[in-house]
Amino acid sequence: MDLRTKLIFAFVLASLGAMLALGAFSYDATRSLLRSIALRQLEAMAESKKQDLERAIVGWRDRVQLVTSRTSLRESLRSFKRDGDEAQLVRTEAILADAIRAAESLRGISIYGADGFFLASSGIDLGERERVRPAMFMWADEPVVYENVSLDPDEGLLVTLVSPVRIAGVLVGAAKVRLSAQELIDVTRDYTGLGETGETLMAMQTESGDALVLNPLRHGPADSAGRRIGPDQARDPILQAVQGIEATYEDGAYDYRGEEVWAATRYLEEFGWGVVVKVDVDEELAPIRELRETLIRLGLSLSAFAIVVATLFGFYVSGPIRELAEVAQRIRDGEHGLRAPTGGADEVGRLARTFNAMADELLSTEEAVEEARDEAGSAQRADEPPPSHATGPKG
């Protein structure tokens, strides 16, 4: 392998090594930065979703209190309690129907007396005409109390709240109000900032320990609410969320589809609901894969450029040396007067000048040797006796 080829290989290998090191560092640094940014965004979005859900719940409380604070409703209940007039129950039902018409989210209202027995209702039949559980009155100091949530095939997600009805601080009854949770569904269906695969899940823990998803899944049919996620999917963050754990999950978390995800969880303590905001790792790392492909293409382009530069550099460096080698070969072949070009001021130029000086000395030595040889030959001939001439007998 000649010097030029060695220079080309050395230059290309050094360039590729530097590019690989820089590419690996850039890839790892960018991946780490992107991961950190994505997790912080998930944390912020999870907190934002929780606040949106809590605002919707506050709105429900206000609507329920508007119902139970109606003077006409309270007076009707007090009159029925005092006189037992059935007409007051008919009036109560009319009041409830008017309240449902006034608030879009109200779906059904049932009124119970202070003794816990059913009195009147309007809207969706709550199916609870039996006596109210005595434990309900333990909540009398609370203006509105969450009771349960249900998935109705026609109405969707429904939430039931209970509120006492008082007159001058005296308990005269209680109202069970069932509301549409469409506001919560709308919050979970807002996929802003979650890309093509991210989503928000709400779930509650069942008696068996499963997580019951309350909102439709983004990657499931429209009626996918009500899906259960059991312990066999232990790496799904929703199972942690319904247990009240608020955390960020970045390694080894998988959702109901079996896709690896990054997720952040929140907990609505009053309702006992868990909230998960998640994104697919594959989608989040797509820019990193694009960066890797770009780095590969850039590396190939720079490699081609390095080969061209190394070739030109090899010609520039090895050219004078090759010329010097050719001159040395021709001198060896007998062209003793030939000299190498000495135009450069670098090491190669100094080498050429030194070589020429050495050639001059060699030529001078050779001429001196030749001259001495000639003189020795001349002296030797001078010292030889003249040749004798032989003569024959005279006759």
> If you search the block for the tokens 């001159």, which residue do you land on?
327
> Is 36 in the same domain as 129?
no
Residue-number span of the structural domain to which 326 is assigned? 308-381
Q: Is the pTM of this model over 0.85?
A: no
Indicate if 46 and 77 belong to the same structural domain. no
Considering the domain architecture, whether residues 74 and 52 belong to the same structural domain is answered as no
Q: What pLDDT, on a 0 to 100 scale, did the predictor assign at position 116?
A: 80
In a domain, 301, yes or no: no
Residue 70 burial class via C-beta count within 10 angstroms: exposed 0-12, middle 13-18, buried 19 and up: middle
Written as six digits, the tokens of 222 are 């429209």
Please indicate, yes or no, whether residues 231 and 317 belong to a single structural domain of this protein: no
Each residue of 358-383: pLDDT tens digit? Answer: 877 877 887 787 777 777 777 776 76
| Structural domain contains residue 292 | no
Cα dist from 207 to 72, 210, 220, whole Å = 40, 7, 25
pLDDT of res. 395: 47
Do residues 265 and 313 share a domain? Answer: no
70: DSSP letter: -
Q: Please indicate, yes or no, if residue 89 is contained in any of the structural domains.
A: yes
Q: Do residues 12 and 310 make contact, with C-beta atoms less than 8 angstroms apart?
A: yes
Q: Computed from CA positions of residues 215, 218, 222, 224, in that sequence, does the dihedral angle turn out positive or negative? A: negative
What's the structural domain count of the chain?
3
- Token digits of residue 172: 């005269």
Question: Is the domain of 35 the same as that of 176?
Answer: no
pLDDT, tens digit, 9 for 90 and up, residues 208-239 = 889 999 999 998 776 666 788 988 888 899 99
More confident residue, 90 or 365: 90
**Separation of alpha carbons 389 and 385, rounded Å:** 12
Are 191 and 153 contained in the same domain?
no
DSSP state of 136: G
Domain endpoint, select from 161, 180, 199: 180
What residues does 213 pair with on adjacent strands?
Answer: 203
Judgement on whether residues 349 and 365 belong to the same structural domain of the protein? yes
The pLDDT tens digits for 123-159 are 876 655 555 554 455 445 668 888 888 888 888 899 9
What pLDDT shows up at residue 273?
95
Which pLDDT does position 386 carry in this prediction?
65
Instruction: Please give the pLDDT value at position 391.
Output: 53
CATH number at residue 156: 3.30.450.20
- Name the residue among 270, 215, 265, 217 with its Cα closest to residue 238: 265
The answer to the question of residue 63 being in a domain is no
User: What value does the mean pLDDT take over residues 22-47?
Assistant: 84
- pLDDT tens string 280-309: 999 988 887 777 777 777 777 777 777 777
Q: Tell me whether residue 374 is in a domain.
A: yes
Judge whether residue 272 has pLDDT over 70.
yes
Same domain, 194 and 332: no
Per-residue pLDDT for 392 more than 70?
no
Question: Are residues 76 and 169 both part of a single domain?
Answer: yes
297 found inside a domain: no
pLDDT digits (tens, 9 = 90+) for 174-202: 889 999 999 999 999 999 999 999 999 99
Asked whether residue 387 is assigned to any structural domain, the reply reads no
**SS3 assignment, position 7:** helix
The pair of structure tokens assigned to 283 is: 């989608």
- In contact, 271 and 277? CB cutoff 8 Å: no
Residue 104 lies in a domain: yes
- End position of a domain, from candidates 252, 286, 320: 286
CATH, residue 16: 3.30.450
- Mark whether 96 and 239 lie in a shared domain: no
Residues 242 and 338 in one domain: no
Structure-token pair, residue 181: 């949770």
Q: Quote the DSSP letter at residue 260.
A: B
Last residue of a domain, one of 131, 156, 180: 180
d(CA 68, CA 186) in angstroms, rounded, equals 27
- Which residues share a beta bridge with 137? none
Looking at residue 134, its pLDDT comes to: 42
